[in-house]
């Protein structure tokens, strides 16, 4: 299985969802997902099994991670500042985009996002290395919470805990369908509560 190819398909699909369905500014969404793609690609290169890429030392790994994380932080700050200036919205609230729209769109969004996020944040990151399961659980939960900064008025810590719970479910069951189902139900109730 080509992890990077699958991840790229996920990011392109999610970019289309952001720009076409949620009407995000394409430049903002593109900056965010380029940063996430860089970070996710390096995480997968470092931890994926069957990887033929060998690093010569910890310095090169450190440099790559610092560049990726710095890029992500820059685009996150850029994204937040643009929203403050343009629309007085610091953190995007997904319910804002669904006001007055068909309820089926909420359901489909819950299903699609739940599936895609679980495939990226749980299956690819955690399953890629049994030896580093705990570290990858923490890392995938942190990435999960960072992505959700833009969709929730709530703190990042609650999304981190959610990521840990979903990751724990996956590790215990070794079946991605359980966290996907839990995630879809959670998204559905979250949208219903906000709507």
Mean pLDDT score, 170-186: 84
Instruction: Look at residue 195 and tell me if it is in a domain.
Output: no
Mean pLDDT score, 22-29: 60
Domain holding 41, by residue range, is: 2-190
- The percentage of the chain sitting over the pLDDT mark of 70, rounded to a whole number, equals 31
- Residue by residue, DSSP assigns 138-194 as HHHHHHHHHHGGGG-SS-HHHHHHHHHHHHHHHHHH--THHHHHHHHHHHHHHHHHH
Global pTM value: 0.47
Smallest CA-to-CA distance from 168 within 190, 150, 146, 183 is with 183
Mean pLDDT score, 76-80: 57
Q: How many domains does the chain have?
A: 1
Is the dihedral angle over the CA atoms 98, 102, 104, 105 positive or is it negative? Answer: negative
Look over the chain and give the mean of its residue pLDDT values, rounded to a whole number. Answer: 64
pLDDT of residue 24: 58
The model's confidence at residue 61, banded by pLDDT at 50, 70 and 90, is low
> Which tops the pLDDT comparison, 15 or 95?
15
């Amino acid at each position: 299985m080509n992890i990077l190819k699958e991840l790229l398909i996920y990011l392109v699909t999610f970019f289309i969802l952001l720009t076409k369905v949620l009407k995000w500014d394409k430049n903002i969404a593109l900056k965010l997902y380029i940063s996430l793609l860089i970070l996710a690609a390096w995480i997968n290169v470092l931890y994926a099994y069957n990887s033929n890429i060998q690093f010569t030392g910890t310095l090169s790994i450190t440099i790559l991670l610092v560049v990726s994380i710095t890029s992500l932080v820059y685009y996150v700050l850029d994204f937040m500042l643009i929203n403050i200036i343009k629309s007085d919205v610091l953190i995007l609230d997904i319910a804002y985009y669904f006001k007055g729209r068909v309820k089926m769109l909420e359901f489909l969004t819950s299903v699609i996002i739940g599936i895609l996020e679980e495939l990226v944040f749980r299956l690819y990151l955690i399953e890629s290395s049994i030896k580093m399961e705990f570290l990858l659980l923490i890392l995938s939960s942190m990435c999960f919470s960072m992505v959700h900064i833009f969709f929730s008025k709530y703190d990042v810590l609650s999304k981190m805990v959610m990521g840990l719970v979903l990751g724990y479910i996956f590790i215990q069951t070794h079946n991605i369908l359980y966290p996907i189902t839990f995630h879809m139900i959670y998204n559905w109730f979250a949208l219903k509560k906000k709507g």
